[in-house]
Structure 1
Amino acid sequence: MVCEAQRKSQGKDKDMAIPVKLEVFEGPLDLLLHLIDKNKVDIYDIPIVEITQQYMDYIRQMETEDMNVMSEFLVMAATLIDIKCRMLLPKEVNEDGEEEDPRAELVQKLLEYKMFKFMSYELRDRQVDAEKNFYRGQHLPKEVAAYRQPVDYGELIGDMNLARLNEIFKALLKRQVDKIDPIRSNYGNIEKDEVDMDERSLFVEAYAQSHRRFSFRRLLEQQDSRMQIIVTFLVILELMKTGKITISQENIFDDIMIESNMCVSA
């Protein structure tokens, strides 16, 4: 009977409880600005103890299951407690000999948030004002939309005649000719010269086996294109690296002589 009476009493107290609706804030900085405005304190001289206590009271009354939102408020709560502890310690001095205020960074964030918040209010008011404006769409009768102003060809041509038109035509042609580069216009199309490296290597090896000792200049003079000369030069370097040929030069400006070290194939 006693338990039943207690349950009835608790149920009655619950029914008589006064519902309290908390204000919804967009974030911890929004809540801090509300507390500063509510207590009418200077944002540059925040009473950190009083504001922290009110902030923690609000945190305890919050009813939210969103951990992301709750974590933001808890991080700010930890920041306020840290500032509160640093306020109790001896003040730190920077390199210029000035005392550092632990609240300075928080004050800067609050000022920036307050500025952006007021800017959002201004944009919202402009949007509301813009929604009150209505514009009438273009609506023209078909006859007016289809009307085209007549062209007077006599007035358009004026004193123009065939001789004048011929002069204008020649001037346009001359202007086009002047735009042509006299040097580049004589260039032909650049075609890609493909040379097979393996084929050149076989050619040089066969040439070396048949001549045994020959001039490097004479070998290059037998090539048909610049690309063949480059590839032949690379082949000579590769054969010299592998020891298949030996290169010699008696004097600094003399012709380079190439001597084959390969056995003559039967």
Structure 2
Amino acid sequence: MDLTVKLQVFEGPLDLLLHLLEKNKVNIYDIPIVEITSQYMEYISEMQRQDLNVVSEFLVMAATLLDIKSRMLLPREETEEEEEDPRAELVQKLLEYKMYRCMAYELKDRQIDAEKVLFKMPTIPEEVRQYEEPVDLQELLTDVTLKRLNGIFRSVMRRQEDRVDPIRSRFGKIEREEVSLEERMGYLEQYILHHRRFSFRGLLETQSSKMEIIVTFLSVLELMKTGKIHISQEHIFDDIIIYANSEESQVPA
């Protein structure tokens, strides 16, 4: 009767090497290359007997181990410079692979733990959500006295006084003058109906504020644009005389 041997499945040649190092309990920085190579070759031979389609990566690693083994068995030349260990590159690959494998195990454990977590939407009844704890006024006002209330009131008033700017508060109240261009044009149209000829300077002197002067000036320009008035000035810096057009100067009956 044939003896069937079931080999452990490895993800790659580095995985197999780590398994052999852990099995022999050897230091990864000081690999016994002769012994590990022999065990690796035995495993490769068994793999070939069971499955001829052996992954080429395992065969490449076998060749690499044999190369390292031959270089270590050859006598070293005595030179002043220290020769690099032939196992250094292999050790570096094994360390990187071991780190990635540990990270993969950690991620797998987290995935397993995450499958045990369930998310539940809040299902609090409306009555419970709107519930407010009743306030006992007697207990709330137990320690309240007139003296304490007076102290709280003075503290609040003091904070209000501290918010007032001592300089700006003396400026008084600043109010915005509302002067409408439409209202000013209506006023000038009525003024034109009763005055055929009038002074522009005299018109501005009757205004009570700077804003009214500006709006009045804009109204005059607008009336000139619509052809209701025209102006005249004989010399520079002389007073501007405003004339009403004939059809606009008639006072209605």
Shorter-chain TM range is: 0.3 to 0.5
TM normalised by structure 2 equals 0.46
Bigger-Rg structure (1/2): 2
Which structure's relative contact order is higher, taking Cα pairs within 8 Å and 6+ residues apart?
A: 2
